[in-house]
């Protein structure tokens, strides 16, 4: 599988944020966008995720326009969107079901990721009882539990200590 952005442009009002951005990411490989704050990395990701429409250019999978209704995407946004007062397992199952998973399969996948990220002991706790770094790992599970074909991470190491950052790498 090959993900391609071809000559993507985006403006907000008079401000040109992206100018003919192009890149190709091949399946099975990690690909990173690097740049200064305000360079357009998050805007590019939001176009990839169909949150924003580009003013010009195209998002392609294997040379054809991406069909978001059929594509299994995992997304870890820059701004976190979980429920701090809810139990971790309940909201992870909820998000997995939003991605089309059956409850039993969701729990099995979530337990796998909780164990893999050394978070199994927190399964039945509320999110707001965890450190920012551990909350980040829970948020990552929402992006991975449904076994996506493509995973897009925006600031994935934000809030993680060096040990946990290495665990995710």
Average pLDDT over residues 108-128: 96
Tell the CATH superfamily of the 2-65 domain. P-loop containing nucleotide triphosphate hydrolases (3.40.50.300)
Neighbours of 106 (CB within 10 A): 22
Residue whose pair of structure tokens reads 């944020």 in the numeric block: 17
pTM value?
Answer: 0.81
Same fold for the domain at 2-65 and the one at 73-168?
Answer: yes
136 contacts 158 by C-beta, under 8 angstroms:
yes
Give the model's pLDDT for residue 76: 84
Tell the CATH superfamily of the 73-168 domain. P-loop containing nucleotide triphosphate hydrolases (3.40.50.300)
Hey, where are the domains in the chain? Answer: 2-65, 73-168
21 contacts 55 by C-beta, under 8 angstroms:
no
What's the full length of the chain, in residues?
169
Tokens of 46: 């939001």
pLDDT in tens, 36-94: 888 899 899 999 989 999 999 999 999 999 988 888 888 888 777 788 899 999 999 99
Crossing angle (nearest 10°) for helices 103-116 and 132-144 = 140
pLDDT bucket at 168, cuts 50 / 70 / 90: low
């Amino acid at each position: 599988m090959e993900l391609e952005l071809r000559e993507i442009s985006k403006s907000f009002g008079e401000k040109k944020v992206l100018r003919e951005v192009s890149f190709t990411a091949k399946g099975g490989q990690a690909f990173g966008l690097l740049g200064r704050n305000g360079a357009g990395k998050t805007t590019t990701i939001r176009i990839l995720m169909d949150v924003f429409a580009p003013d010009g250019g195209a998002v392609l999978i294997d040379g054809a326009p991406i069909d978001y209704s059929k594509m299994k995407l995992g997304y870890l946004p820059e701004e976190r969107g979980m429920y701090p007062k809810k139990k971790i397992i309940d909201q992870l199952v909820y998000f997995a079901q939003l991605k089309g998973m059956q409850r039993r399969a969701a729990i099995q996948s979530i337990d796998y990721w909780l164990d893999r990220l050394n978070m199994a002991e927190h399964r039945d706790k509320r999110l707001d009882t965890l450190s920012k770094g551990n909350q980040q790992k829970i948020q990552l599970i929402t992006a991975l539990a449904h076994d996506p074909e493509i995973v897009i991470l925006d600031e994935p190491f934000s809030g993680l200590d060096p040990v946990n950052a290495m665990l995710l790498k």
